[in-house]
Amino acid sequence: MGCDVLVIGGGATGLGVVRDAAMRGWSAVLVERVDLGQGTTGRFHGLLHSGGRYVVSDPRSATECAEENAILRRIAADAVEDTGGLFVTTPADDPAYADRFLAGCAEHGVAAEEVPVAEALRREPRLNPAISRAFEVADASIDSWTLLWGNARSAREHGARILPYHWVTGVLRDGDRVAGVTAQDNRGHREVRIEAGFTINAAGVWAGQLADMAGCPGVTVVPGKGIMIAMNHRLVGTVINRCELPGDGDILVPIHTVCVIGTTDVKAPTPDDLSIARDQVQEMLDAGEVLVPGFRESRALHAWSGSRPLFTDERADGAQDTRHMSRGLALVDHLERDGVEGFLTITGGKLTTYRLMAETVVDAMGEQLGDPRPCRTAAEPLPGSEDGRPYWLGSRLRRQEEVMPDDQLICECELMQRSRLEAAAASRPGLNLDDVRRVLRLGMGPCQGGFCTYRAAGVLHAIGDADGPRADELLLQFLHHRWLGIEPILAGRGMRQACIDDWIFQGALDVEHLPVTPPA
């Protein structure tokens, strides 16, 4: 297999890069070691930054976020819900910060307007009534998977090939030039060799490992791990930020049917470390209590962690304090740095700035190739967003109303119909239920797979997509993965749900004695 441009990494950045390159007329291929958006992109809180968060601590990021926010609302309307955002000064915050915040917003191009406290409380009645100031900003929530699928579809329409479940096993070198990769195709069970005129490393938090493989050591990407907790329903309809220097648990993001409190920031030993410490769970719930009184008693649905790719260079000491490392994007020019041609690394950044990261690295590639071509991604909407209508919370329910009662409801909590599952299975051979979750939100609601997992596995079996043992395996694998995010937060009403789910799967279905090997 050969191409002009090979992109490594199927997160937002990689998909953005492959779309951008394909739109500029280069033949492009993307490899991803697992499913698209299974890394950092699929593990964030859902905030489309206004930039307000960084106006004091990281002004370059603030400006980047503000500009990209406006662009994404246009090109990815389908993935964005215009929730608006508030920065509020709680009794736990330094009241002096608010003026620095306003000044920073004005200086760095972030729109912000003070609103009366009464107005903020009218809009968000569950908000802590003891707040002293409130500022309205252009925060929004964004579904990273919708964004990804939009980019993937668009890239394919422009001729790109996207290869999930392709694990890079080696980087090909042709003297001083990177010439492609070898990869293990984990669905097709074969080794593939992809030769490329240019290779872009968009492996995010794994970018350092990739650079090592390419013989460009010393690209330090520190995994800044954060945990997030999704609450059972929206306690707020607006993104709520503490008006303070960025800290732990100071953002509450309403996205889809839930709201997400985030996040912590600690240096993880490896990018693959997804563990969730109990004390951090408590820390998040306590932090939520500052924003919404009664938060601790509200039902938590699921906890997860993801690692930010925090790029460090000689000028910053990234050894300990990931909280204060820049969120700005980082382009590593390996020709200049290592004398290696045909290879660029793009890392750092935020989901909000994924498009800018792609534009930056593809521009740099064009320059290096002596073939600069103009970028069009800021103007051309993603498929599904052509009408510019933003996502609306009620849309799934409205859709379900239209197909009811002819289409069987498989996931009741998140309203996923049988027809959509069947369509997903038809378009993606060999898919597992986690893949379905990322596309269709299977099992992401209150019962966390308690009622839909066996239905979905049964449907895949009924349509011939999975034989008996495979269906059993899919069932166990999904339950296992869901449990990883339920176990750390088990308490109260979530515990009752876990009990009824347990009775279904252990009592009625006896899943632990299915004649298949449970997944590791």
Cβ proximity to other proteins: between 378 and 403 the closer is 403
Which span (154-162, 321-329, 401-409, 424-432) binds other proteins, by CB under 8 A? 401-409
Residue from 393, 484, 490, 491 binding other proteins (CB under 8 A): 393
Nearest to residue 455, comparing CAs of 415, 418, 403? 418
Which span (16-24, 186-194, 251-259, 266-274) binds other proteins, by CB under 8 A? 251-259
Cβ proximity to other proteins: between 82 and 195 the closer is 82
Q: Which residues contact 397 (CB under 8 A, 6 or more apart)?
A: 415
Nearest to residue 18, comparing CAs of 369, 435, 365? 365
Residue from 94, 317, 386, 401 binding other proteins (CB under 8 A): 401
Binding track over 280-319 against other proteins, x by CB under 8 A: ------------------xx--------------------
Which span (36-44, 105-113, 316-324, 412-420) binds other proteins, by CB under 8 A? 412-420
Which span (340-348, 355-363, 471-479, 489-497) binds other proteins, by CB under 8 A? 489-497
Residue from 77, 196, 216, 413 binding other proteins (CB under 8 A): 413
Residue 256 phi/psi, 5° resolution? 50, -135
Minimum distance from residue 258 beta carbon to other proteins (Å): 8
What is the pairing mode between strands 161-163 and 28-31?
parallel
CA atoms of 107 and 387, how far apart (whole Å): 33
Which span (271-279, 282-290, 308-316, 444-452) binds other proteins, by CB under 8 A? 444-452
Per DSSP (E only), the strands in 47-189 are 47-48, 80-81, 85-89, 112-115, 133-137, 140-142, 161-163, 166-174, 177-185
Which span (3-11, 14-22, 119-127, 511-519) binds other proteins, by CB under 8 A? 119-127
Minimum distance from residue 392 beta carbon to other proteins (Å): 5
What is the pairing mode between strands 258-262 and 220-231?
antiparallel
Minimum distance from residue 477 beta carbon to other proteins (Å): 22
Binding track over 230-249 against other proteins, x by CB under 8 A: --xxx-xx------------
Residue from 91, 496, 506, 517 binding other proteins (CB under 8 A): 496
CB-CB contact of 446 with 493 (8 Å): no
CB-CB contact of 44 with 22 (8 Å): no
CA atoms of 391 and 142, how far apart (whole Å): 9
CA atoms of 207 and 222, how far apart (whole Å): 10
Structure tokens at 71: 């662009």
Nearest to residue 311, comparing CAs of 110, 141, 60? 60
Cβ proximity to other proteins: between 480 and 503 the closer is 503
Alpha helices in 76-164 (DSSP H): 97-108, 117-123, 144-157
Binding-site size, other proteins (CB under 8 A):
38
Binding track over 340-359 against other proteins, x by CB under 8 A: --------------------
Q: Is residue 252 near other proteins by the rule CB under 8 A?
A: no
On the 0-12 / 13-18 / 19+ scale of CB atoms within 10 A, 428 is middle
Q: Is residue 497 near other proteins by the rule CB under 8 A?
A: yes
Q: Is residue 515 near other proteins by the rule CB under 8 A?
A: no
**What is the end-to-end Cα distance of the chain in Å, rounded?**
33
Structure tokens at 219: 């690209």
Q: Buried b / exposed e across 182-215, counting CB within 10 Å, b at 16+? A: ebbeeeeeeebebebbbbbbbbbbbbbebbebbe
Q: Is residue 125 near other proteins by the rule CB under 8 A?
A: yes
Residue from 405, 429, 464, 515 binding other proteins (CB under 8 A): 405
Locus of tokens 């600690």 = 266
Minimum distance from residue 336 beta carbon to other proteins (Å): 49
Minimum distance from residue 234 beta carbon to other proteins (Å): 6
Residue from 342, 446, 449, 488 binding other proteins (CB under 8 A): 446
Residues that bind other proteins (CB under 8 A): 122-126, 232-234, 236-237, 254, 257-258, 298-299, 392-398, 400-401, 404-405, 412-413, 415, 445-447, 450-451, 493, 496-497, 500
